[in-house]
Structure 1
């Protein structure tokens, strides 16, 4: 059996906390980060009393004007008081939840679609951050006859 060089062993042991910190927090969805209590309250605030519909691939520009950042992998687009679109990004977008960076969306045409990407730009320095990818848009609507 081959022996591990003591220097390599020390480097591996020292790197273990870094590797472990890359693992996602516990969640029902594999690979998704768990929401903080504040993020859960935000999600509940905008989706409470609404019913999820069939996912749509694209949103017209006018429907994506009111953006709410829930977490590093969830965005909401509010269209009036009756419809909110939830977008679970295709992977995490580190720093999105801070809500301090500017979202620069690359749009091709008159819609924002699943698979389109955006990146974050630091408001103070102008340094470009991560590139992130939209998922499908799930509409949440108030049920018919619900005036609340």
Structure 2
């Protein structure tokens, strides 16, 4: 009788540790987003951005990607749904058609040290954030 109870207690402890880790990751993502956006103010979302206007992506969490500005505008992309494996320090393999990156363009995630990309994910709308004048 004691073995099943101990096993159940260990399983619950693992769930608690996992939920604490997820809460910590969410808090870190919120902090990273707040730091990156700073005092910038959002504008009207757009369907496409020019690839040349960005210095590459910063992955915040499994639903949020920032494209750092070359100029004044930082672009925030909120995916329509979470993207499995998308987290900071992963690489995006983006299918680009032309000189713009657009809503519903597909990308895949590549984990560090891996050579097999994950499932396809799609970009959402791009919201510009500019420094207040």
Q: Which structure 1 residue ranges, 4+ long, deviate > 4 Å from structure 2?
A: none
Structure with the higher helix share, 1 or 2: 2
The answer for the alignment partner of 2:104 in structure 1 is 115
- Structure 1 residue 132 and structure 2 residue 128: aligned? no
In structure 2, do the counterparts of structure 1 residues 125 and 46 end up closer, same or farther at CA, with 3 Å as the change threshold?
closer
**Unmatched 5+ stretches in structure 2:** 1-18, 20-24
Which entry has the higher C-alpha Rg, 1 or 2?
1
Structure with the higher strand share, 1 or 2: 2
Task: Tell me the number of residue pairs that the alignment of Structure 1 and Structure 2 aligns.
Answer: 111
**More contact order relative to length (CA 8 Å, sep ≥ 6):** 2
Specify the SS of the correspondent of 1:45.
helix
Instruction: Give yes or no for contact 2:58–2:88 (8 Å, CA) kept in 1.
Output: no
Partners of 1:90 and 1:115 lie apart in 2 by 9
TM-score with structure 1 length normalisation?
Answer: 0.68
- Structure 1 residue 105 and structure 2 residue 94: aligned? yes
**Unmatched 5+ stretches in structure 1:** 1-24, 26-34
